[in-house]
Structure formats: structure tokens, C-alpha cells
Amino acid sequence: MVKVTVKFFAVGRDITGSDELMLELPEGTTAGEVLIQVKQRYPAFEKVAALLVAVNLDYADTATVLYDGDELAVIPPVSGG
């Protein structure tokens, strides 16, 4: 098992009511599999289009395998003006 910290920002923080979540996951779990778990736990994420992920401060693909102590950031779409 690996322990991963999942970080939430902006609308993600609003949905979860927290800025982070600790998960214990089987070895070999990918960032995409964590996103699926997050969406199952917090169904309001289904309405958020185009979530990006970063692992240890670097943008990552959903196929990225997570390791013990990793930090996965769930990044919602950003708009500005």
C-alpha cells in the first residue's frame, strides 16, 4: 500500500470542503484511478470539465503511477481576464 496526499484548489476545495485528502492505495494505482475515486466520493466533480492533475508539482498524465508519499493535485479549469 502507498499513502498519497490529494490536494484540491478553487472549486475542488468548495466541493470537498477541504484542501486535501489522504488516501491509502494499492501499489500501482494511477493518477486517473484516483480521479475516479474522487469523483465517486464527491459526485459534484462530474460537472467540472477538464480536470488536470499534477504529481509532486509537475503536470502529469492520468496514466502516471503514484508512489508512497506522492502529492497529487487535482486542478480545475482556470479562467481569467
Does 14 map to a domain?
yes
- 46: Cβ contacts below 8 Å, ≥ 6 apart: 39
pTM for this model (two decimals):
0.90
What is the full DSSP assignment across 14-81? HHHSSSEEEEEE-TT-BHHHHHHHHHHH-GGGGGS-S-EEEETTEEE-TTPBP-TT-EEEEE------
Which CATH number does the domain housing residue 58 bear? 3.10.20.30
Cβ proximity of 51 and 15 under 8 Å: no
pLDDT at 78: 75
Count of structural domains within the chain = 1
Q: Range of 51's domain?
A: 2-75
* Partners of residue 24 on adjacent β-strands: 3
Task: Evaluate whether residue 80 is within a structural domain.
Answer: no
Say what the pLDDT of residue 28 is.
97
Q: Is there a domain that residue 17 lies in?
A: yes
What's the confidence (pLDDT) of residue 81? 54
**81 in any annotated domain:** no
pLDDT (tens, 9 = 90+) of the chain, 81 residues, equals 999 999 999 999 999 999 999 999 999 999 999 999 999 999 999 898 889 999 999 999 999 999 999 999 999 887 655
